[in-house]
Each structure stands twice: as C-alpha cells, then as structure tokens.
Amino acid sequence: MSPLAKISDLYAPRFAEFAFEPAFVAAVDQHVAELRERLAAGGPDLLPPPPDRADLTDYALGFLDALAELDWREPVGHDYAVCRLTAISWLVHRHGLLPGQRHGD
C-alpha cells in the first residue's frame, strides 16, 4: 500500500470530526496551506492546482520516517502530527491523487 493510501485510510475518517471541532478544521486548513506552499503547488489562480502526487508522497514518507524516529504514537485528540497527516489525507481526497480515485472523492 502506498504511503498516501495508508495515510488516507487512517486519517480520512477524521474528516467526520470537522462537523463538531472547528479548531481542528482551522488547524488542518493551516496545514493544508503550508503543504501547498512547501510543495510549490500555489499559482496565480484563486484556486491552487493540485499538489504533485510524487512530491506529496516524498513529503509523506519523510514525515512518517520522522514520526517513527520519535516513536510517535497517535494521541487522543489533535497534535501537530495528527493535523499534518489529516491535511495530507485531505489533499489526497480533494484532488483524487490515488489510482482509481476521482477528484473530490
């Protein structure tokens, strides 16, 4: 299973928390914006283009490696890593970055 698919499987269910956790929504939104900037996905348009799947995969692998080195365990709540992983998952789903996945699924 690809890193993006693994992250999506684990963190897409957290999208349900958006309905009742406005602070979580805001934090994930900030992480999405930072990821777009970091991956140079921004452009002159009002709506930024989707991130490059290979670039996002490379970033996700590095982030997962760093978490493994820290022996990170998912907390009950939302720490930096949960917000970042949820943001990666949101980008994957929003832009249909997995094989067989449609844009916006």
Tell me the per-residue pLDDT of 45-87, one tens digit each, with 9 for 90 and over.
666 778 889 999 999 999 999 999 999 999 989 999 999 999 9
pLDDT category, 39, cuts 50, 70, 90?
confident
Are the C-beta atoms of residues 90 and 50 closer than 8 Å to each other?
no
Alpha-helix residue ranges (DSSP H) falling in 12-78: 22-38, 53-69
pLDDT for residue 42: 52
pLDDT for residue 56: 95
What are the boundaries of each domain within the chain? 3-94
For residue 5, is pLDDT > 60?
A: yes
| Residue showing tokens 């009002």 | 46
Q: Which helix (H) or strand (E) holds 81?
A: helix 80-94
pLDDT for residue 100: 75
Over residues 6-34, the mean pLDDT reads 95
Closest CA to 58 of 46, 48, 66, 69: 66
Give the whole-angstrom CA distance, residue 74 versus residue 67.
Answer: 10
